[in-house]
């Protein structure tokens, strides 16, 4: 190892010759190698500067109101920035909380309030429904309603219980299992809830079947 002098604090430290050849290890520690952070010159502000001696917020205010430090020398309504931006620490309620009595008073003012029929009618007119709604996707096909029905979920559970929660192809026990229709769901609507038309498969085996998802291949597996 070779001795080298830190370029900032001039302290000697040991390093390898290969680092010196690469132009590395100019400083003795990370503290010396990290440039000093420069903060906004406005008193009470702890934000990093943007290259003009001010943070982004005070730079915008400086362009609008002039010298920010001069503006901050005024307080209350005498300040030309009074009411300009009262968000964050400039808000007089910053760091405070409503008392329990105040919260209870707010709640009591709305409790038991009934809307008039005219008000309800305006709400109905303001909210688009049906075909006028931006979320309208058209009338759902009946098969989607069947899949979401309680009978279909019960069929899937009974198929897994019959197969003892075991994949019928690879033998995986437990985990994420699917109840697969042996004959295609869309082509045989009369066999959708038939237990003999179901089998338990894991995810990887289910994806390898010919009737998985929206595949156009109509070859049936294990008919």
Q: What is the mean pLDDT of each run of 10 residues along the chain (223 residues)?
A: 85 85 80 67 66 67 56 51 61 80 87 86 79 76 61 89 92 90 85 90 90 60 40
pLDDT at 66: 54
* Nearest CA-CA partner of 4 in 31, 33, 24: 24
CA 207 to CA 142: how far, in whole Å? 25
156 touches 182 (CB < 8 A): no
pLDDT at 27: 82
In the block, residue with structure tokens 């001010």: 54
pLDDT at 163: 92
pLDDT at 219: 44
Kindly state the DSSP code that residue 48 receives in the 8-state scheme: B
CA 223 to CA 221: how far, in whole Å? 6
| This model's pTM is above 0.75 | no
Q: What b-and-e string marks burial along 103-133, b requiring 16 or more CB atoms within 10 Å of the CB?
A: eeeeeeeeeeeeeeeeeeeeeeeeeeeeeee
- Find residue 166's DSSP bridge partners: 173
């Amino acid at each position: 190892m070779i001795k080298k002098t830190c370029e900032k604090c001039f302290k000697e430290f040991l390093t390898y010759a290969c680092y010196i050849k690469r132009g590395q290890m100019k400083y003795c520690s990370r503290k010396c190698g990290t440039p000093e952070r420069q903060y906004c010159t406005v008193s009470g502000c702890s934000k990093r500067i943007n290259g003009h001696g001010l943070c982004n917020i005070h730079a915008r205010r400086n362009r609008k109101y002039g010298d920010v430090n001069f503006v901050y020398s005024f307080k209350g309504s005498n300040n030309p920035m009074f009411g300009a931006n009262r968000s964050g620490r400039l808000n007089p309620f910053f760091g405070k909380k409503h008392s329990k009595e105040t919260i209870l008073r707010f709640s009591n003012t709305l409790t038991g309030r009934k809307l008039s029929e005219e008000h309800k009618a305006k709400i109905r007119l303001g909210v688009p429904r049906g075909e006028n709604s931006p979320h309208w996707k058209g009338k759902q096909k009946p098969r989607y309603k069947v899949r979401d029905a309680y009978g279909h979920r019960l069929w899937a559970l009974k198929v897994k219980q019959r197969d003892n929660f075991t994949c019928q192809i690879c033998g995986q026990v437990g985990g994420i299992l699917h109840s697969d229709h042996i004959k295609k769901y869309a082509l045989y609507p009369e066999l959708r809830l038939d237990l003999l038309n179901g089998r338990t498969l894991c995810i990887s085996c289910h994806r390898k079947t010919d009737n998985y998802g929206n595949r156009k291949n109509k070859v049936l597996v294990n008919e």
